Structure 1
Amino acid sequence: MRGLVLSGGHGTRLRPITYSYQKQLIPVANKPILFYAIEDIIEAGIHEIGIVVGPNKEQVMDTVLSREWDATIEFIEQDAPRGIAHAVKISQGFLKDEPFVVYLGDNILREGITRHVDDFLSSGVDASILLSHVNNPQQFGVAQLDEQGKVMRLIEKPEHPPSDLALVGIYLFRHVIFDAVHSITPSWRNELEITDAIQWLIDHGYSVKASIVDGWWKDTGKSEDILEANTLVLDDIHTDIRGTVEDAIIRGRVVVGEGTVLRDGSVVKGPAIIGRECTISNAYIGPYTSIGDGCEIVGTEVEGSVVMEGARILDVERVVDSLIGRDALVERGNSLPKGHSFKIGDNSVVRI
C-alpha cells in the first residue's frame, strides 16, 4: 500500500503568513502540520509516500528532507491548485496498481489512521472515506449513508444536511479510482473534485465504505483552527525539561528544548512547549502556548498562542490567542510622539 499526501494550495485563509510560508508547514506544538500526516501514514505500516507539492515546493521539500523518515518519499509537482482528484490523477505513475491512502496535509487526526487502513484492506471495498461527527455540517462536505454504513451520496455544504458526518479529508482507494478521475469533468472552480470522483464510483456500482473517526479531528485551514489544534495536541504532552531554569518557575506539563534559558522570575504554566535556543526573561508563558526555536520573549505575557521560530516579543504586556510568524518582531516603542507603529501586510488582522 502507498500513501499520497497533499501539500499544495495557496492557503489564502491563513494570509499574510502564507504569502511566504506553505500552510502545511505552519507548526502545531512546534511540529509542522504536514509531519503529523506523514507520521500517521508510516505508523499505519505504509513506507512509500508521495507528496504533492505546488507553491513553495522547495520549502516543503527542504523541510521534509531535513529529517529522516522510515519511508521512501517522492515529490510530485502539481502546476496549480486543480483539485484533489487532479492530484490523484497526476500521481498515478507513483501509485501504480496498489491500494493507497490520500491524506490532506493540513489535517490533524488524534487517533491516526491505522485502524482505518486495516479495516479498508480487510473489507475488500473499492473505497473508504473517513467521516467525523460535527456540530455544523452545513459548513462541510457531508455523507449520506445507507443502513449498512455504505456511502450513498456526498453533498457539499448542504443547506439541509442529511447527516452530521463530515468528510475529514482522508480517503482510501483501490485502482478503480483512476477510472473515476479520468471520467469526471472540472467543477465550477475549474478543479477535479474528489467528491465527484467518489460519487462516480457510487453511481457505477462500486462499493464505498464509511469509516467513522473516534476522537478529535482538525482541518487547520484558518488561524483559529491552528490555535485550536495547538490546544488539542498540547493536551497530550509530557514534561521534558532540557534547557536551563534560572530563577524561574515551571508549573504543569511543560517541554523546554536544549539551549533555552528561563530566567529573571519567568513563569511557565503548562501545557506549553518552548523550543531550542530561546530566551524567556521576566515573562509569563501561559497554557496552550507553543514557542518555536530561537525565540526571545521579554517582559511579556503570552498565552494560548503559536509563536513561530525566530520571533521576538519584547515588553508588550500581554499577547493572547495569537499566531506570530517567523522572525517577527513585536515590541513596545518608547519614542515620541506616542502611538502605535505598524508594518502590516495584506490580509493581516490587528486588535488593540
Structure 2
Amino acid sequence: MKIIVPMAGRGSRLRPHTLTTPKPLIPIAGKPIVERLVKSIAKVVEDPIDEIAYVIGKDFGEVIEKDLLSIAEDLNAKGTIYYQDKPLGTGHAIMCAKDSLSGAAVIAYADTLFEADFKIDKEADSVIWVKKVENPSAYGVVNLNEDNQITELVEKPETFVSDLAVIGIYYFKNVVVLKDELQKVLDQNIIHGGEYQINDGIKAMQAKGLVFKPGKVDEWMDCGNKNVTVETNGRLLKILHKNGEKLISDSIKIENSEITEPCYIGENVVLKNVKIGPNVSIGDGSKIEESTIKNSLIQTFAEVKNANLDNAMIGNFAKFDGKFTAISIGDYSVLE
C-alpha cells in the first residue's frame, strides 16, 4: 500500500505561521499535521505501508524534506519526494508523483485530519472518505445509490444533492487506472477554474463501470486557517485524552501552576505562576510565566509572559509579553 500526499501549497490562509513552516508541518497536539494524517490512514487501511510519496514545493528546503522522509521511516516505509512547480490543481499535483502511481494507494491532501474506525471495502475499486455536514453547498458531495455505491460527484451544489462531503482522502485498489485517466485530462487540457482536477479522472473511471464506495469518518478536522487550526487542536486533544494517550511530558518544570486537561505539554516546558487549559498545546522548550491560557496553540521554544490568551496561536521561538487575547504571531516574532 502506498500513500500519496500532495502538499505543495504553503497555506496562505494560515500566515504568518506558514511563512516559515509549510502548513502540513505545523504541529497539532505535538505532532505535524501530515504525520498524524498518514498514521491515521495506516490504521484504517490495515495493510503495511510500502511507500509515502510527498508532492511539495521546491522552496520547502532540505530540512523539511528530511522531516518528511523521517515520518515515512517511522512507518517502515520508503519516502519519496516529488515537486510541483505551479499550483495547477489536484489532478496535476497527483501526476507529479506519477512514478509512484502503481498498485493499491491512498491519496490524501495534507490539510485535514480525521478519526474513523471503518475498514476499507477491498471489493470496491475505490473508496472516497466522506463526512456528513450541515451545509453541503459549501463542499464537494457524493450521491449514493441503494447499493451504497457512489454514483455522482457534485462540487458545491446549489440545490440539495447529498449531505456527504468529500474530505480529500481517496483509496484506489489499482491507482494506475486513475493515473491513465488523469494523463488524458492533462493531454486533452481539461481544465476547471484554471486547474486540472482529480474529479475528472474519477468521473472517467466511473463511466467505465468501476465501483466507488464511501468511507464515512467520525471526525473531520480542518487546518485551513488560524481559527479552525486552534479549534482542531482542541478537538484532537479531547480525542487523544479520551483514548488515554500520554500528552504531558514528565520533564516539564512547574511552579505554582494549574493544568486543566486536555492539554499537550512537550519536553522541558517551564510553567511558572500560570493557569493552562483546557485545549492548549505547548511545544518543547517553551516558557510560560504569569499567564492564563486556554484554547490555544503555542509552538516550540516560545516565551509567553503576562498573558491572558484564548484562541491564540504563537509560533516557534516567538516572544510575547502583553494583554492581547486572540493573537496569531509567527515564528521568531517579538511582542513585548
Q: TM-score range by the shorter chain?
A: 0.7 to 0.9
Picking from 200, 205, 223, the partner of 1:201 is 205
Query: 1:193 Cα shift?
Result: 0.8
Paired residues for 1:300-311 under 5 Å = 300-311=291-302
Paired residues for 1:267-306 under 5 Å = 267-306=258-297
Q: Distance in 2 between matches of 1:12 and 1:161?
A: 31
The alignment status of 1:176 with 2:192, answered yes or no, reads: no
CA-to-partner distance for each residue in 1:140-188, whole Å, 9 max, x for gaps?
1111222222222212112223000100111112221122101223534
Q: Which letter maps to 1:210? A: K
CA 1:312 to 1:57, structure 2 compared with 1: closer, same or farther past 3 Å? same
Query: 1:29 Cα shift?
Result: 0.6
Q: Distance in 2 between matches of 1:50 and 1:80?
A: 18
Paired residues for 1:113-132 under 5 Å = 115-116=119-120, 119=121, 121=122, 123=123, 125-132=124-131
Q: Which letter maps to 1:58? A: E
CA 1:290 to 1:343, structure 2 compared with 1: closer, same or farther past 3 Å? closer
Task: Give SS of 2:191's match.
Answer: coil
Task: Identify which range, 12-21 or 324-333, moves more after superposition.
Answer: 324-333
Task: Give SS of 2:235's match.
Answer: helix
Q: Which letter maps to 2:32? A: P
CA 1:297 to 1:186, structure 2 compared with 1: closer, same or farther past 3 Å? farther
In structure 1, stretches of 5+ residues that fail to align are 240-251, 334-338
* Structure 1 contact 253–270 (Cα < 8 Å) conserved: no
Query: 1:344 Cα shift?
Result: 7.4
CA 1:18 to 1:179, structure 2 compared with 1: closer, same or farther past 3 Å? same
* Structure 2 contact 2–105 (Cα < 8 Å) conserved: yes
CA 1:326 to 1:100, structure 2 compared with 1: closer, same or farther past 3 Å? same
Query: 1:41 Cα shift?
Result: 3.7
Aligned equivalent of 2:138: 139
Task: Identify which range, 67-76 or 173-182, moves more after superposition.
Answer: 67-76
In structure 2, stretches of 5+ residues that fail to align are none
Q: Distance in 1 between matches of 2:94 and 2:294?
A: 40
Aligned equivalent of 1:230: 233
Paired residues for 1:45-64 under 5 Å = 45=47, 46-54=49-57, 55-64=59-68
Q: Distance in 2 between matches of 1:206 and 1:89?
A: 23
Paired residues for 1:1-12 under 5 Å = 1-12=1-12
Matched residue count: 318
Query: 1:266 Cα shift?
Result: 0.7
Q: Distance in 2 between matches of 1:189 and 1:20?
A: 28
Query: 1:258 Cα shift?
Result: 4.5
Aligned equivalent of 1:84: 90
Q: Distance in 2 between matches of 1:254 and 1:148?
A: 42
Picking from 319, 329, 336, the partner of 1:329 is 319
* Structure 2 contact 52–79 (Cα < 8 Å) conserved: yes
CA 1:104 to 1:230, structure 2 compared with 1: closer, same or farther past 3 Å? same
Q: TM-score, normalised by structure 1?
A: 0.83
Picking from 247, 250, 254, the partner of 1:262 is 254
Q: Distance in 2 between matches of 1:62 and 1:23?
A: 16
* Structure 2 contact 268–286 (Cα < 8 Å) conserved: yes
Q: Distance in 2 between matches of 1:270 and 1:343?
A: 22
Aligned equivalent of 2:155: 156
* Structure 1 contact 25–32 (Cα < 8 Å) conserved: yes
Task: Give SS of 1:190's match.
Answer: coil
Task: Give SS of 2:181's match.
Answer: helix
The alignment status of 1:191 with 2:192, answered yes or no, reads: no
CA-to-partner distance for each residue in 1:79-135, whole Å, 9 max, x for gaps?
122222112222221223x121101122211126x712xx1x3x1x33221111011
Paired residues for 1:20-31 under 5 Å = 20-31=20-31
The alignment status of 1:110 with 2:115, answered yes or no, reads: yes
* Structure 2 contact 111–222 (Cα < 8 Å) conserved: yes
Q: TM-score, normalised by structure 2?
A: 0.86
Q: Distance in 2 between matches of 1:327 and 1:344?
A: 11
Task: Give SS of 1:129's match.
Answer: strand
Q: Distance in 1 between matches of 2:88 and 2:211?
A: 24
Task: Give SS of 2:240's match.
Answer: coil
* Structure 1 contact 254–268 (Cα < 8 Å) conserved: no
Q: Distance in 1 between matches of 2:146 and 2:70?
A: 47
Q: Distance in 1 between matches of 2:262 and 2:287?
A: 19
Q: Distance in 2 between matches of 1:303 and 1:21?
A: 24
Q: Distance in 1 between matches of 2:312 and 2:202?
A: 38
**Identity fraction in percent:** 31
The alignment status of 1:75 with 2:81, answered yes or no, reads: yes
Task: Give SS of 1:235's match.
Answer: helix
CA-to-partner distance for each residue in 1:190-221, whole Å, 9 max, x for gaps?
3211122212222x323242323231111211
